[in-house]
Structure 1
């Protein structure tokens, strides 16, 4: 998986945390059996910046921990103009699944509040956002159960247990 990580924090995110994000998302991609040509990005920011994004795109006037913007393949307009290509060519074209924005301030706040490590919270949030990019949601109780179990399974298998 091709993963771009952007650090927009004022203080800079330590390399070991950037590496953790890279590693846990690569692991999650393999866990879900995503194609090697899958692309996505993660932007690390502070509460102020994620607050602005939350306000602008979700109409929620507060900072949040993670926001995901999935690139949908089932767009109705795109279905009107299907691309026809052979499987070999299709396998070479990258599939961008979307972007995740993470508040590093919230990572620290929530890790402290929940009493687990900063690394566990960081892994939790990026996997949570990653699952949203892959079509999982938690709007309905049954969907929440499926998503949260998968999230826990990935984190536990990776080694970021509670």
Structure 2
């Protein structure tokens, strides 16, 4: 199994200690072998809508907030990639859908991982493959040995 290290940066004050849940999520995905990614350091950042909108503007010329942004691996820098997720977006969208916050945030992390594994969602057929892979990955997480639970501070 490839070596993967995690660098987790929680910049969203209302997110309660996400490190253990994020580690369990990525370890379960990696251990499954279903969606292999490049070895190296995987950087994860939990941010606000304002922060992700700034990244979106700086790197993609789109100043709007989004759910997740993924930067690809760079083997020369021993990087497995970077996943930036908006906790604000997950909280809002979970409420709109009547889904648990933790499930929505997990979906964003899964989505980022799948981009690193080579999935894309730019056209209809790619989106269908991505949605199918997301469901498979969420099923892997549902059957993981340790429950994966992200929580907001009260």
- TM-score norm. by structure 1 comes to 0.76
Q: Choose the corresponding residue for 1:55, options 43, 57, 81.
A: 57
SS of 2:15 mapped into structure 1: coil
Does the C-alpha gap of structure 1 residues 21 and 95 become closer, same or farther in structure 2, counting only changes over 3 Å? Answer: same
TM-align CA RMSD = 2.3
Gaps of 5+ in 2: 144-154
Q: Within the alignment, does 1:137 sit opposite 2:116 as a pair?
A: no
Map residues 1-162 of structure 1 onto 2, 5 A cutoff: 1-9=4-12, 11-15=13-17, 17-32=18-33, 34=36, 37-71=39-73, 95-159=78-142
Report the secondary structure of 1:123's partner residue: helix
Partners in 2 of 1:72 and 1:18 — Cα distance?
Answer: 23
Residue-by-residue CA offset, 1:11-54 (whole Å, 9 max, x unaligned): 25212x33222211111122236489542110111111111001
In 1, the alpha carbon distance for the partners of 2:83 and 2:23 equals: 13
- 5+ residue gaps, structure 1, are 79-93
SS at match of 2:63: coil
Structure 1 residue ranges (4+ consecutive) displaced by more than 3 angstroms after TM superposition:
32-38
The count of corresponding residues between Structure 1 and Structure 2 is 139
Distance 2:128 2:37 in 1: 25
**Which has the larger Rg?**
1
State the alpha-carbon separation in 1 of the partners of residues 132 and 106 from structure 2: 15
Contact 1:66/1:103, CA 8 A, preserved across alignment: yes
- TM-score, normalised to structure 2, is 0.80
Distance in 2, Cα, partners of 1:100 & 1:157: 19
